[in-house]
Amino acid sequence: MSQAFLRDDAEGEMPRRDYALPPRDDPDFDRAAARALLEAARVSETQLAERATGYLWGEPRLRQFVEAMRAEAEAAGDDRLEQVARRFLG
Residue 84, in any domain of the structure: yes
Residues 57, 50 contacting (CB under 8 angstroms): yes
pTM: 0.81
| pLDDT over 80 at 6, yes or no | no
In a domain, 10, yes or no: no
Q: What is the pLDDT of residue 11?
A: 45
Domain with 60, as residue range(s), is: 27-89
Integer CA distances (angstroms), 9 to 6, 13, 15, 47, 50, in order? 9, 7, 12, 17, 20
21-76 per-position pLDDT tens digit: 999 999 999 999 999 999 999 999 999 999 999 999 999 999 999 999 999 999 99
Tally of domains within the chain: 1
Confidence (pLDDT) at 57: 97
Sequence-distant contacts of 21-27: CB under 8 A, at least 24 apart: 21/52, 21/53, 24/54
